[in-house]
Amino acid sequence: MNYENILSKTTNGITSITINRPKKLNALNKATIEELHEAFKAADKDKNTKVIIITGSGDKAFVAGADISEFADFNVNEGGKLAAQGQAILFDFVENLKTPVIAAVNGFALGGGLELAMACHFRIASSNAKMGLPEVSLGVIPGYGGTQRLPQLVGKGRAMEMVMTAGMIDANQALSYGLVNHVVEPDQLVPLAEKIASKIMRNSSVAIGKAIKAINANYTDGKDGYKVEIKQFGKCFGTEDFVEGTTAFLEKRKAEFPGK
């Protein structure tokens, strides 16, 4: 599929999605959100894709925020609809994919950009990355899951401070907060993402998908994460991957999993 605002390519089991609006610092507008939805959906369905890596084009920004010009004149109903639709088609959608998604945060990840990174299964950052939720400086609050995911990742107090001050933190502070898993120099960011992806790809894609579902359940209102884990654990026993994994272990050889 041809996209106007993003790039997507699949190589050796990894689908790399790049937000490609460098003149706008890769800001998220409606069209980009819709294209990202389609790209993530296609990658998740692709049996050859074992891991998805998302990053921004250039070296200045992952995503510098939402495209404010698109909603500056919205009313109450339009604002609520904007948040609901965005969460449904992109942010919640990414979080619940069965294919692992790594955010490679290069440069600014602000507002909707940080919310997108937080929706991914985990994050790594370049040393020049800066992250924040500056929405209150515009008279609005994060609307793409930021008020929920940030406290889950860094704790309530730190999230409150970040949101209320509308300030940015640097990559090392994000690392100390647990917001990102690793920090490397910019030229090592994608190679590190690919290295981690290669480790993930050695394992069962089917089992990983079920693990994602079980882990997410702990952060979902009304869900008993332990019950979800039990159910997903049991389902593993009916898969080809379970047969291959246990057989390979007993035969003292490397497992060759059939795929998604």
Distance from C-alpha of 209 to C-alpha of 43, rounded to nearest angstrom: 14
- Contact by Cβ (8 Å): 126, 186: yes
What are the tokens at 210?
Answer: 């079920």
- Contact by Cβ (8 Å): 75, 23: no
Within 8 A by CB and 6+ apart from 43, the residues are: 8, 10, 15, 17, 49, 52, 99
Distance from C-alpha of 53 to C-alpha of 31, rounded to nearest angstrom: 20
- Contact by Cβ (8 Å): 18, 55: yes
Task: Respond yes or no: is residue 240 known to be catalytic.
Answer: no
User: One of 4, 38, 78, 135 is an active-site residue; which one?
Assistant: 135
Instruction: Say whether 26 sits in a helix, a strand or coil.
Output: coil
- Contact by Cβ (8 Å): 85, 219: no
- Contact by Cβ (8 Å): 190, 53: yes
Q: Which amino acid is at 185?
A: E
* CA nearest to 246, candidates 207, 198, 200, 191: 207
User: One of 70, 115, 161, 194 is an active-site residue; which one?
Assistant: 115
What are the tokens at 132?
Answer: 């924040």
Task: Respond yes or no: is residue 185 known to be catalytic.
Answer: no
Catalytic residues: 115, 135
